[in-house]
């Protein structure tokens, strides 16, 4: 890789890290970018974990500095997601080349459809994205909600370990809809959960020789800065304008991956 490739990855990492903390989907930008730069799909998948882990460590610290932390619940949810994350990572190391590209392209299309449907439903209700600070998210989840939420983490962890891209949207659905948490606390828990199963996945990909450390570290520098930015914007309610800016880019990347050449 040339110098400008590393600079590009660092720049994309800032955007991806910010987006990952605010809502999710940052890997939908960085994974295709690494594939387009010539990395094998499985190697890009493993290399991306270096940046994701660094980003979430930074974001966890930033949320704590801002007064948002519930380590007991974060840790129990992360433990529930960990077995799925390990199994997903093992599967991810086996998917290579064109098959990975097509799976990633299909994920891009699926996420874009879900985002569009969600936006249409919100528009139909006459509402907008809320920061959740006035919602019932300050009320502790019920026992039933906690059980369902922890069960959901197993599936979310598996998907996150497998391909990572878009896992933030699944986590937001589980934490916000199932546990009833407000969006700020959703993001607070999300960065801890993703950080834990990403660390396990990174070990697995590295053991299989599917991590390129220099590109991963370049991406990690950007993602870490983005994680710091995203944690602050999350508290200030800033996810809409960032997510909207990626619609066209993600659609283009999905088309390129599904119909190469």
User: Is residue 15 within a helix (H) or strand (E), and if so which, with residue range?
Assistant: helix 3-22
Quote the tokens at residue 201: 């996945």
What is the rounded CA–CA span in Å between residue 171 and residue 191?
10
- The per-residue pLDDT for 260 is 53
- The per-residue pLDDT for 164 is 79
Tokens 């959901």 — which residue?
Answer: 152
- The per-residue pLDDT for 117 is 73
Angle (CA) 224-114-133 rounded to 5° is 60
What is the rounded CA–CA span in Å between residue 248 and residue 151?
34
What is the rounded CA–CA span in Å between residue 21 and residue 183?
11
* Mean pLDDT in consecutive groups of 10 residues from the start of the chain, 261 residues: 90 88 78 87 89 92 88 94 93 76 72 69 56 51 89 92 80 84 85 93 93 94 91 67 54 59 51
Q: Which residues contact 103 (CB under 8 A, 6 or more apart)?
A: 95, 163
DSSP string, 144-209: HHHHHHHHHHHHHHHHHHHT-TTHHHHHHIIIIIIS---HHHHHHHHHHHHHHHHHHHHHHHHHTT
- The per-residue pLDDT for 94 is 82
What is the rounded CA–CA span in Å between residue 12 and residue 251?
17
Torsions phi, psi of 258, nearest 5?
Answer: -80, -30
Where are the domains positioned within the chain? 3-258
Distance of CA 128 to the CA centre of its chain: 22
- The per-residue pLDDT for 202 is 94
Q: Helix 41-65 and helix 183-207: axis angle, to 10°?
A: 140
Taking residue 40's Cβ as centre, other Cβ atoms within 10 Å add up to 17
- The per-residue pLDDT for 231 is 84
What is the rounded CA–CA span in Å between residue 183 and residue 231?
12
Residue among 75, 78, 114, 107 nearest 92 (CA): 107
What is the rounded CA–CA span in Å between residue 137 and residue 45?
34
């Amino acid at each position: 890789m040339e110098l400008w490739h590393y600079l590009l990855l660092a720049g994309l990492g800032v955007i991806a890290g910010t987006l990952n903390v605010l809502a999710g989907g940052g890997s939908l930008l960085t994974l295709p970018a690494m594939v387009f730069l010539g990395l094998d799909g499985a190697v890009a998948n493993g290399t991306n974990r270096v940046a994701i882990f660094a980003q979430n460590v930074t974001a966890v610290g930033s949320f704590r500095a801002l007064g948002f932390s519930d380590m007991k619940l974060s840790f129990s949810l992360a433990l529930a997601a960990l077995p799925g994350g390990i199994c997903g990572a093992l599967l991810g190391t086996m998917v290579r080349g064109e098959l990975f590209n097509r799976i990633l392209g299909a994920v891009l299309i699926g996420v874009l459809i879900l985002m569009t449907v969600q936006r249409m439903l919100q528009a139909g209700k006459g509402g907008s994205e809320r920061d959740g600070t006035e919602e019932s998210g300050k009320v502790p989840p019920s026992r039933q909600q906690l059980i369902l939420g922890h069960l959901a983490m197993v599936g979310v962890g598996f998907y996150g370990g497998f391909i990572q891209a878009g896992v933030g949207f699944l986590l937001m659905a589980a934490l916000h809809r199932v546990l009833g948490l407000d969006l700020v606390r959703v993001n607070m828990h999300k960065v801890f959960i993703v950080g834990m199963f990403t660390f396990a996945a990174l070990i697995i990909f590295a053991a299989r020789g599917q991590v390129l450390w220099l590109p991963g570290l370049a991406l990690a520098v950007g993602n870490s800065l983005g994680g710091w930015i995203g944690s602050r914007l999350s508290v200030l309610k800033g996810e809409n304008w960032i997510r909207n800016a990626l619609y066209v880019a993600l659609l283009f990347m999905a088309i390129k991956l599904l119909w190469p050449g």
